[in-house]
Amino acid sequence: MSFDTYAAECAICEIDSDIKQSLCPVCLTQRIFRGKWKIVILWLLRDKELRFSELKKSIPNITQAYLSNQLKSLESDQLVIRKSYNEIPPRVEYSLTEEGRNFIKVIDYINDWGTDYLKKRIDSRS
């Protein structure tokens, strides 16, 4: 989805304009990352380039079509780079853009929060 599409969705949003002012960046981020596997894909690409087949093997129960769709969307949002090699058999590798690498900091924070949250739930059962 392009930025113009996100902006158009935001423009027709019926939230009060004062609230919208502070919510829009959150809504935009949520819209970019909607999709079950986008954050996982970025996390898997955080340290290295991966081939399509490597990504598919790393994500249980994802279909080839859904993975392809998620990668195209991340590429369209300029978070992932798709590099295609003119070889037989064809080889395609995916890596993070600078913007994608910047988002890894957010995922690190989410990971830390999730770890703390789980620890508290486990500790409360004791």
Query: DSSP code of 48?
Result: S
Whether 50 and 27 share a structural domain: no
**CB neighbours (10 Å) of residue 100?**
21
Instruction: Give the CA radius of gyration of the chain.
Output: 17
Whether 56 and 103 share a structural domain: yes
67 vs 87, higher pLDDT: 67
Q: Taking residues 102-124, what's their average pLDDT?
A: 92
Whether 51 and 85 share a structural domain: yes
Domains contained in the chain, number? 2
Whether 6 and 42 share a structural domain: no
At 10-34, the pLDDT tens digits run 666 776 766 666 667 777 788 788 8
Give the range of the structural domain holding residue 65, as residue numbers without chain letter. Answer: 36-125
pLDDT number for residue 7: 64
Q: Are 48 and 80 in contact (CB under 8 A)?
A: no
Weakest mean pLDDT among 19-28, 31-40, 62-71: 19-28
Whether 14 and 75 share a structural domain: no
Whether 1 and 60 share a structural domain: no
In this prediction the pTM is 0.77
